[in-house]
Structure 1
Amino acid sequence: MSDQRGIADLEPLWRSKEQKAWYWYDWANSAFYTTVLSVLFAPYLITVAGRAAGCGSSADETCSRTVTVLGLHLAAGSLPFYLTSFATISSAFVLPVVGAMVDRSGRKRWHLAAFAWSGSFFAALLFFMRGDQWQLAAFAIVASSILGGCSLVSYYAILVDISTEAERDHVSSRGWAWGYLGGGLLLALNLVVVLLHDTFGLDKELAVRLSLLSAALWWAGFTLIPFRGLRDRAPTGVVPERGGLVRRSFGQLATTLREMRAFPMTLTFLLAFLFYNDGIQTVINVASTYGSKQLGFGDSVLIATILLIQFVAFGGALVFGRLAASYGAYRCLLWGTYAWMVIVVLAMFLPRENVVAFLLIGVAIGLVLGGTQALSRSFFSLLIPRGREGEYFALYNACERGTSWFGTFLFGVVFQVTGSYRPAIVALIVFFVLGAVFLLRLDARRGILEAGNTPPPRV
């Protein structure tokens, strides 16, 4: 290969090949987050746990009877939300240590695959959730969620290895778009199986269990593509520490947290991301509740809107990637934050049972959703000192996961005070306003230079 480079620079070609392999992990893991976490797991666990609690075969979220978890008596209708919250909070503590280990080992590809395949194994155990047997599923969803987050630390860190600063927005946007497409395709297929289960000779619960299993197999199978197509690189910028890998990782993490004061623009962006991302996640999480309880839509409209957002987000990620090439990721993120403000205000005034207006809001959400998530990842990569990608992206994911309950808490409090979901949805504007305030305080070019990176032509 060195002889070939003496004739022509083939580095862009090698990067392009790795980038194409890298995209497939977005495609792989999105199946778990869409089919399992977003749509099918919670209602099915409520039914199964409800039977164990004595709510009957038609148990649903209205069941107030409890099951026992580690000595705690938890309502069957709340169990999946407690489990995902526990996984989220646990991830906030686990991921930074995992990030330090990833940086020190120089085997990001192996870490990515190991965490992905371990996570998919536990996700596959959800297939055995039936009757009133919910305990294994409770453990499996926590384990698979945490391991999925660990795999993303390696995945995000690899972005820096396979792309130049000028390529980051394009590559990240392609990855997010590929993820929305893959996750949306499997979700659409699974919804067909679940909704038309009689046509396939299945009872509804078996259809749900097979759909959960399909997401685990999809995740594991498509992870083979990045595992084979990426290559490991020697670590750079490693902090000298004594002891074994775990001890050295804790030491490096402590050093990094102390040194972050030298990168004020990086910290400013993390604060901005913490707020506007919390707003984004809350809008997505409460959209179905708002559509059903406030606007009076049935399951068919809500399912159609979920799929619409998924596929429109595919295009939104690509569109924002092109806009970033012309105007810079920073400006596009700021514009995206303003767009989210407009969306929540318009959502407050949506007329009841107006399907067209609801779908149009879904299109707007999809366009901005794909773009803001893709560019947040690529822009943050420019603010990371070389060799610390795992740690910083772990902190990035910890901000995303560890604080994502603020918005839903505010939504619930406003509803309790007012008795209406309309003021609750518009109250979320505070997160986008705070995100925009911190973005406006950010000097993007200064932050990139402080991190030791080269600013792209358009910042």
Structure 2
Amino acid sequence: MTAADQRIHPLRNPQVLCWVLYDWANSAYTTLLITVVVAYLQRIVFPADQWGNVGPIVWAWGISLSMFLGALLSPIVGAIADAHGNKRRWLGITALGGSIASIVLGLVAPGHYVLVVALFITANLMLELSLSVYNGFLPEIATEREVNQVSAWGFGLGYVGGGIALLLALGIIQFGDRIGLTAVETRLRAGLVLMGCWWGIFTLPALWVLSDSPPRSRPESTTATASSSFRDVVRTLKGLRSNPPLAFFLVAFLFYNDGVQTVISQSSTFALQELAFTESDLMGVILMLQFLALPGALLVAKLADRFGEKPSLMACLLLWVGVLTTALFIRSQIWFWVLAAAIALVLGGTQSVSRSMMAGMIPQNRNAEYFGFFNLSGKATSWLGAFLFGAIFALTGNSRWAIFGLLPLFLIGAGFLSRVRPAQHVVRGQRDAPGPCEDPVQRENL
């Protein structure tokens, strides 16, 4: 097989195939999280007629807490795995740990609400930690020219895998009575078990085939490794002083990326609480979003090629602002479908163009360092939006205002993005940015 053939068909490499299968594996969790898990928590474990507003608050703040812990622990876990050359072990611990927590979540009776919440937070935290380890394999299994294409395969298969898992869960919800699952509670719990089993089973190929790289040096203690990781972050922060466009961009990304992730995770609460969606209706919306997001990302990529990355990204943020503003006024389910379709068109594009802009502004030969920091910056405030949503809902009891309250995240992000001068990153981007056929999309774990 020639080098050109390998670039065209990256999945012929067993390590690449098994690596992208982990996207397929964890996408079942990220998709069923915002459909089955949210409905189970808000309608079964903490029903409104008994608990009032507790369900949506537990959901929002549980997401926030797990993301906060993930932001703290991900750099440390990643640094330890790199330093000791045992990323595969850490991937197994985190991915299978999350899978088991998801399965047990479906087996535990909903009356054990403290245990249910603990399992929910644990599963979400394990996903965050597993992704930090998983991403570290990419430069080891693909050349610099192949990285973007392999990443795109993971993104695409993730959407397909999540969509298939959602279809199976939808079948359980709709036709569960034919297999003896007569109660909605039982069907939702079966969906949770499906979620955990899918995640765990499709993780196994990666654990079997991927190989660890040698330790970077003589293994240090966990404390020393964590301290070294912290020093690396500080060094990169100091380096941003000489690159103001990149500094403005990263601050912008901190805010608008958190807004994007929070809208995706909390819009289910809006649908359930304000528009009285059934579990099946909610799954239908998310299924549509799954299959529209990829062509939407490709469309935004073409617009970025024609009009430039910054104008295209600003247009995406403007559409997000429009979605949040419109959500304040909609009263019918059909308008939620319309807004979900609009989100699908810019969801992948917002991430892919952000990544392209980042590639055009980083100093030469420092890709790994700055993309590592880029991933860390995406996690640093990832807890803020969900916490803000939960706080507004706790004060108002209205998820409509809670969704609208996320608007400042997009406005602040757009404000900092406007300070980035395109000429400064386009010139650098001509040197080492990906070609137009490479990685039109970039997945961000939900």
Aligned match of 1:252: 228
- Cα gap change, 1:162 to 1:258, in 2 (>3 Å): same
Q: Among residues 128, 135, 149, which one is paired with 2:128 in the alignment? A: 149
Residue of structure 1 in register with 2:262 after alignment: 282
In structure 2, the residue matched to 1:195 is 174
Q: 1:61 aligned to 34, 37, 48, which one? A: 48
Residue equivalent to 1:429: 407
**Rg comparison, structure with higher value:** 1
Do the aligned partners of residues 201 and 245 (structure 1) sit closer, same or farther apart at CA in structure 2, a change above 3 Å counting?
same
Tell me, yes or no, if the aligned pair for 1:174 and 1:318 is still in contact at 8 Å. no
In 1, the alpha carbon distance for the partners of 2:134 and 2:309 equals 20
Q: Do structure 1's residue 441 and structure 2's residue 419 form an aligned pair?
A: yes
Q: Quote the Cα distance in structure 2 between the aligned partners of 1:85 and 1:124.
A: 22
- Which of 239, 246, 250 is the matching residue for 1:262? 239
CA distance in 2, matches of 1:224, 1:332: 39
Q: Which amino acid aligns with 1:279?
A: G
Match of 1:335 in 2: 315
| CA displacement at 1:340 relative to structure 2 | 1.6
Q: Check the 8 A contact 2:64/2:387 in 1, yes or no.
A: no
| CA positional deviation for 1:449 | 9.6
Query: Structure 1 residues 318, 233: closer, same or farther in 2, change over 3 A?
Result: farther
Once the 2 structures are TM-superposed, how far is the Cα of residue 387 of structure 1 from its aligned partner? 5.0
Which residue is 1:39 aligned to? 35
Return closer, same or farther for 1:389/1:399 CA change in 2, 3 Å cut-off. same
For residues 79-105 of structure 1, give each alpha carbon's deviation from its aligned partner in whole angstroms, at most 9, with x where no partner exists.
Answer: 444443332222221112112223323
Name the amino acid aligned to 2:415: V
Equivalent AA in structure 1 for residue 385 of structure 2: S
Query: Does the 8 A contact of 1:127 with 1:210 survive in 2?
Result: yes
- Does the Cα contact within 8 Å between 2:99 and 2:123 map onto a contact in 1? yes
**Structure 1: how far apart are the matches of 2:301 and 2:19?**
17
Corresponding position of 2:19: 22
Deviates more, 1:167-176 or 1:358-367: 167-176
Which residue type is aligned with residue 37 of structure 2?
A: F
Deviations 1:311-351 (CA, angstroms, capped at 9, x unpaired): 2123323444555566666554333223322333444454x
2:159 corresponding residue in structure 1: 180
Q: Read off the aligned partner of 2:337 and give its amino acid letter.
A: L
Task: Assess, with a 3 A threshold, how the Cα gap between structure 1 residues 166 and 334 changes in structure 2: closer, same or farther.
Answer: farther
> The residue matched to 1:441 in structure 2 has which SS?
coil
* Alignment partner, residue 346 of structure 2: 368
Contact 1:336–1:368 (CA under 8 A) maintained in structure 2: yes
Counterparts of 1:214-363 in structure 2, within 5 Å, are: 214-228=194-208, 230-234=210-214, 244-259=220-235, 260-263=237-240, 264=243, 265-291=245-271, 294=274, 301-321=281-301, 332-350=312-330, 352-353=331-332, 355=334, 357-363=335-341
Q: Counterparts of 1:22 and 1:297 in 2: how far apart (Å)?
A: 36
Q: d(CA) in 2 for partners of 1:322 and 1:227? A: 36
Aligned equivalents of 1:187, 1:163: Cα separation in 2: 30
Alignment coverage as a number of residue pairs: 426
Tell me what 2:444 maps to: none
- Residue type at the aligned position of 1:198: D
- Amino acid across the alignment from 1:372: T
**What's the CA shift for 1:111?**
3.2
Is 1:138 the counterpart of 2:138 in the alignment? no
Are the aligned partners of 1:109 and 1:231 in contact in 2 as well (CA < 8 Å)? Answer: yes
Q: Identity percentage over the alignment?
A: 30
Q: Give structure 2 stretches of 5+ with no counterpart.
A: 439-446
Q: TM-score, normalised by structure 1?
A: 0.76
**What SS does the corresponding residue of 2:385 show, helix, strand or coil?**
coil
